[in-house]
Amino acid sequence: MADIGSDHAYLPCYLAKNLKISFAIAGEVAQGPFQSAEKNVLAEGLVDTITVRMGDGLEVIEPGEVDCITIAGMGGALISSILDNGKEKLDSVQRLILQPNISAISIRTWLLANNWELIAEEIIEEDSKIYEILVAERGDPLKPYQIKRDEGLLLGPFLLKQKNEIFKKKWTAEMKNWQRISKALEGASETVETIEKRKELTDKIKLVEGVLK
């Protein structure tokens, strides 16, 4: 596997120590985290299993080298951009495990456009922060979206089915934030941008309200 933006290489180290992987690349674009990853891999005695490489996104991978890629702890738009810029490295990859801090919709949209099938999702809360984890494999990108596609892309087709308490907490908070922004825009001058923004917010509020009922 390759862990892009590996930071301290905690994830590949954990997987290697628990015999979940046979080989890993820990990729980092910044010097500090790169050095931390090298130190941790050395300290754990895993230099034969994990190679730490410095580079931007999927630059650290050679074609055909890995069959699973993890990217966690970044915005959804950035994760999508990393995948898009390194498309030629994905031919041998069978699974993507992605954890966006914000804008999971960006990733779902990218997967849909690039023939990756979303096969599983989780939503978890840790230290008062809520995280979504998306898993995709090669397959039918439309398969998860038998429900309304707009709802599925924004909220997650698998998470929608579960509608657990963390899901409800996240989207109740998001909806309140949209309502606050929409109210603030009421006092703004009527430009094309503000009118479009208010309509976008109103549409999202209605969509989420309908789901949470």
Pairing type for strands 2-4 and 24-28 reads parallel
Is residue 66 domain-resident? Answer: no
Task: Provide the residue range defining the domain that includes 205.
Answer: 163-213
Q: What is the mean pLDDT of the chain?
A: 95
Model pLDDT for residues 148-171, shown as the tens digit of each residue: 889 999 999 999 999 999 999 999
Domain membership flag for residue 179: yes
| Within a domain: 82 | no
User: Based on the number of CB atoms within 10 Å of its own CB, is 52 exposed (0-12), middle (13-18) or buried (19 or more)?
Assistant: buried
Tell me whether residue 212 is in a domain: yes
Cα–Cα distance, 185 to 124 (Å, whole number): 32
Residue 116 pLDDT class (50, 70, 90 cuts): very high
Number of folded domains that form the chain: 1
Residue 48 reports pLDDT greater than 80: yes
In this structure, is residue 4 part of a structural domain?
no
Enumerate residues 6+ apart whose C-beta is below 8 A from 212. Answer: 168, 171, 172, 175
* Largest pairwise CA distance in the chain: 62
Residue 171 within any structural domain of the chain: yes
pTM given for the model: 0.92
